[in-house]
Amino acid sequence: MTHIYDISRTLSPALAVWPGDMPFSFTHSLRLRDGASVNLTTLTLSAHTGSHIDAPYHYVDVSIHPADLPLAPYIGPAHVVTIARRQGGILPDDFAGRDLAGMQRLLIHTWVSDLPDDQWPDDFPYPTVELVDWLAAQGVRLLGLDSPSVDHPDSQTLPCHHRLYDHGIANLENVRLAGVPDGVYELIALPLKIAGICGSPVRAILRTVAPQTGWDVR
């Protein structure tokens, strides 16, 4: 029987965002209770609110926006792996002894998944360039994290963002993996088709049963 895990952070005014970034909010321009025929709301948010992907335009001076991204990396088999590291750079050794055969997408589960949506992690584990190179050598197409960035929170050079781009590996940030056992799932985390911006929120889910047609999504 198929089971779906919703691994998305909930967008609400209570959601913690990157310090200094635009908080999520919404306003009503029309209300049923005021006599309008519908409720109509307007959203205000950063492109990196909650569970999201980064488009290359976020960190490289190229015109590659969410609407331009290939969708295949965001759909398909994904390994969920829990690691013990609480801070600092994540290394290949953090996955020693794990069965990662055939890995195409990796979602790293850390203590950050235990935080409620309204609490921001002041420090969190983040990938290293060594990890990104190791994943690329294994053919990984997407790296997903429960932390809010693939780089150190104080980094100004963003080495892992750039190394992922160099290897053609997509990223997925700020998912919530609490309650998801380690294993292989089908990931679906599609960015919105938005032109001109630097990232996109996603509704990220994991399914326990692969499609009957197989895993190969191109």
Position 60 in a domain: yes
What the block records as the tokens of 208 is 């326990």
One-letter amino acid identity for 210?
A
pLDDT of residue 210: 56
Residue 87 falls inside a structural domain: yes
For residue 91, with 0-12 CB atoms within 10 Å meaning exposed, 13-18 middle and 19 or more buried, which class applies?
A: middle
Sequence letter at residue 18: W
Residue 81 in any domain: the answer is: yes
184 assigned to some structural domain: yes
Q: What is the mean pLDDT of each run of 10 residues along the chain (218 residues)?
A: 95 97 98 98 98 97 97 97 96 94 96 97 95 97 98 96 98 98 97 98 90 50
Q: Which amino acid is at 71?
A: L
User: Is 34 part of a structural domain of the chain?
Assistant: no
CA atoms 21, 64, 144, 205: torsion sign: positive
Q: What CA–CA distance (Å, rounded) separates 169 from 183?
A: 21
Which among 48, 52, 58, 65 is annotated as catalytic? 58
52 classed as catalytic: no
**Residue 62 belongs to a domain:** yes
Total domains, the chain: 1
In this predicted structure, what is the pLDDT of residue 122? 86
CATH number, domain containing residue 195: 3.50.30.50
Check residue 217 and give its pLDDT.
Answer: 45
Domain range for residue 140? 4-8+47-207
Determine, yes or no, domain membership for 39: no
Residue pair 201/17 in contact by the 8 Å Cβ criterion? no
Q: What is the pTM of this model?
A: 0.93
